[in-house]
């Protein structure tokens, strides 16, 4: 039990570092080339308009992943009690019962 917990925590730390590194790369790429980035991103028009929107999507993926694992590593997680309750409240899907052929004598 303790080993699986350790494994889970290590996995979370590894993912946090991975997402964190990706976020750092994106931020560094933008802020180290501010002049060029602002020149193209504020040009206007359809193609230039996709640049800030796409960048925002990339950040939501990388930084969103990082912050998710960050709070998990810090021990701040959703209430397990309530989530279990919600899962129980969902209707249980029934397996479809196939009519079995029966021999009638």
Partner 1 sequence: MMQEIAQEATRFIDLNLITVGYLFFVGFVGGMVSGFIGSGGAFVLTPGMMSLGVPALVAVASNMCHKFPKALVGAIKRAKYGQVDLKLGLIFGVFAEAGVLYGAHVQESIKKSFGDAGSNLYVSVAFVVVLAIVGSFVLRDALSSMKNSDDHGEERTAKLARWVQSIHIPGTMVYFKSLKARVSILFIVPLGFATGMLAATIAVGGFLGVPGMMYVLGAPSLMASATELVVAFVMGMGGSFKYALSGLVDIRLVMIILAGSLFGIQLGAIGTTYVKGYTIKFVMGTIMITVLFSRALMIPVYLAQLGIIQPLPELAVTWLKNGSFAIMIFALLLGAFIVLRALLKGMKAERQLTPQVSLKRSEV
Kindly compute the dihedral angle of the four CA atoms of residues 46, 63, 28, 54, in this order, to the nearest 10 degrees: -10
Give the nearest distance from C-beta 25 to partner 1 in angstroms.
13
CA distances from 51 to 19, 37, 41, 59, 91 (A): 21, 9, 6, 12, 43
- The residue with tokens 């709070």 is 71
Nearer to partner 1, 14 or 56 (CB): 56
Coil/strand/helix, residue 63? helix
Nearer to partner 1, 47 or 105 (CB): 47
- Return the DSSP state at 77: -
The nearer residue to partner 1, 81 or 104, going by C-beta atoms, is 81
Residues lying near partner 1 in the complex (CB under 8 A)? 27, 30-31, 34, 37-38, 41-46, 48-53, 55-57, 59-60, 63-64, 66-68, 70-71, 76-83, 86-87, 90
Q: How far is the CB of 87 from partner 1 (least distance, A)?
A: 8
């Amino acid at each position: 039990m303790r080993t699986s917990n350790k494994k889970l925590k290590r996995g979370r730390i590894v993912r946090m570092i991975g997402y964190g590194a990706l976020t750092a790369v994106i931020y560094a790429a933008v802020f180290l080339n501010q002049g060029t980035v602002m020149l193209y991103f504020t040009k206007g028009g359809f193609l230039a308009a996709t640049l800030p929107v796409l960048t925002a999507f990339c950040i939501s993926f990388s930084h969103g992943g990082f912050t998710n694992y960050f709070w998990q590593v810090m021990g701040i997680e959703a209430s397990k009690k309530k989530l279990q309750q919600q899962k129980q409240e969902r209707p249980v899907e029934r397996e479809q019962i196939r009519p079995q052929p029966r021999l009638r004598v």
